[in-house]
């Protein structure tokens, strides 16, 4: 990776290498077990699409036209700073069906061995723990989690199917109850993970998890790659769905970098936002 980016905000700067841009944030040092630091990342088009589904009957939204090697490198740098990755059952199902690639481990692509070494130097385990959020509890556990000896936790609501909960527990899985219904709620989940010793939590769980973290004022930082492209499409996903947010949806811009990667047809912005919390 030899790409360079140029800072636009807070002050314009000379071009700098893309690598280590986000590692410098040292997110793993910003939280505590009493108040874990929660962060998420998305990639979006100029018209606000994070995925487009041209065949809604299949439920298979796609990221084509948004991702790039530069964005993926920064995604892995954020991932490398997490004690724990929070994903969801839908991703595990898509992974098992071959619809999405594996991002459950640092260097799963084989292109970021330096990030595994970075974790070792910073006294982090080689791989982060995994939390699978699910209301239905209907998903396969990917073999790579066991192969890399990643601690695994399954989070659900207290009204989840008790038979499925018992089946998971009988197989040795640690089930976390975080919410009174079937859906997982942000604040109870963060408190539970802090109680397990985790200090930095990275959201890989999509718009629903982002929404509950925002509503419960748990999100600390949002990383957003904005591809300089308009996608359109009648069926698409955006950052958040559901009822309108109030001031819990307020952010302040922390930094903005411009990337005109000659390897892509369009450039992109790498933006970092801090959530305004009372």
Read off the pLDDT of each residue in 117-129 and give the average, rounded to a whole number: 96
User: How many CA atoms lie less than 13 Å away from 25 in the CB half-sphere?
Assistant: 25
Mean pLDDT on 174-185: 95
What is the rounded (10 degree) CA torsion for 55, 58, 59, 64? -50
pLDDT value of position 265: 67
Q: Which residue pairs from 29-35 have beta carbons closer than 8 angstroms and sit at least 24 positions apart in sequence? A: 30/200, 30/220, 31/199, 31/200, 31/201, 31/220, 32/194, 32/199, 33/194, 33/195, 33/197, 33/198, 33/199, 34/194, 35/194
- Cβ contacts of residue 144 below 8 Å, gap of 6+? 102, 104, 105, 108
pLDDT, one tens digit per residue, over 83-117 is 999 999 999 999 999 888 899 999 877 888 999 99
Residue 183, classified by CB atoms within 10 Å of its CB into exposed (0-12), middle (13-18) or buried (19+), is: middle
Distance CA 125, CA 127 (A): 5
181 touches 158 (CB < 8 A): yes
Query: Is it the case that residue 58 has pLDDT exceeding 50?
Result: no
Mean per-residue pLDDT over the chain, rounded: 90
137-to-96, 154, 160, 261 alpha-carbon distances in Å: 15, 8, 8, 41
Listed in sequence order, the residues at least 6 apart from 205 whose beta carbon sits closer than 8 Å to its beta carbon are 86, 87, 88, 91, 133
CA-closest candidate to residue 273, choices 226, 204, 208: 226
DSSP secondary structure, 12-61, as one string: ----EESTTTTGGG-GGGS--SSS-EEEEEEEE-TTS-SEE-S-GGGT--
With pLDDT > 70 as the criterion, what percentage of the chain qualifies? 92
Tell me what the mean pLDDT of segment 27-37 comes to. Answer: 96
Tracing tokens 């939280």 back to the chain, one arrives at 31
pLDDT value of position 25: 97
Structure tokens at 246: 């109030």
Phi-psi domain of 48 (left: phi exceeds 0; alpha: psi -120 through 50; beta: other) = left
pLDDT value at 1 more than 60: no
- Which superfamily does CATH assign the domain made up of 36-52+62-275 to? Dihydrofolate Reductase, subunit A (3.40.430.10)
- Where in the chain are the domains? 36-52+62-275
């Amino acid at each position: 990776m030899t790409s360079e980016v140029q800072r636009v905000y807070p002050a314009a700067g000379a071009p700098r290498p893309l690598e280590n841009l986000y590692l410098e944030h040292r997110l793993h040092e910003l939280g505590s077990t009493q108040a874990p630091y929660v962060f998420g990342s998305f990639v979006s088009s100029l018209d606000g699409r994070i995925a487009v589904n041209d065949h809604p009957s299949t439920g298979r939204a796609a990221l084509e036209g948004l991702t790039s090697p530069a964005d993926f490198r920064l995604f892995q740098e954020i991932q490398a700073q997490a004690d724990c990755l929070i994903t969801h059952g839908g991703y595990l199902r898509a992974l098992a069906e071959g619809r999405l690639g594996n991002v459950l481990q640092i260097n799963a692509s084989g292109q970021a061995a330096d990030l595994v070494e970075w974790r070792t130097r910073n006294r982090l385990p080689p791989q982060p723990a995994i939390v699978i959020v699910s209301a239905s509890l209907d998903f396969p556990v990917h073999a790579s989690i066991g192969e890399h000896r990643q601690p695994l936790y399954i989070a659900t609501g207290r009204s989840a199917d008790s038979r499925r909960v018992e089946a998971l527990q009988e197989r040795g899985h640690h089930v976390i109850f975080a919410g009174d219904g079937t859906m997982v709620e942000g604040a109870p989940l963060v408190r539970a993970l802090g109680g397990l010793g985790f200090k930095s939590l990275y959201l890989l769980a999509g718009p629903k998890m982002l929404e509950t973290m925002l509503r419960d004022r748990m999100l600390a930082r949002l990383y957003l790659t904005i591809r300089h492209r308009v996608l359109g499409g009648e069926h698409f996903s955006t950052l958040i769905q559901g009822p309108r947010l109030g001031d819990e949806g307020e952010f302040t811009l922390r930094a903005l970098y411009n990337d005109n990667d000659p390897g892509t047809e369009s450039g992109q912005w790498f933006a970092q936002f801090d959530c305004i919390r009372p």
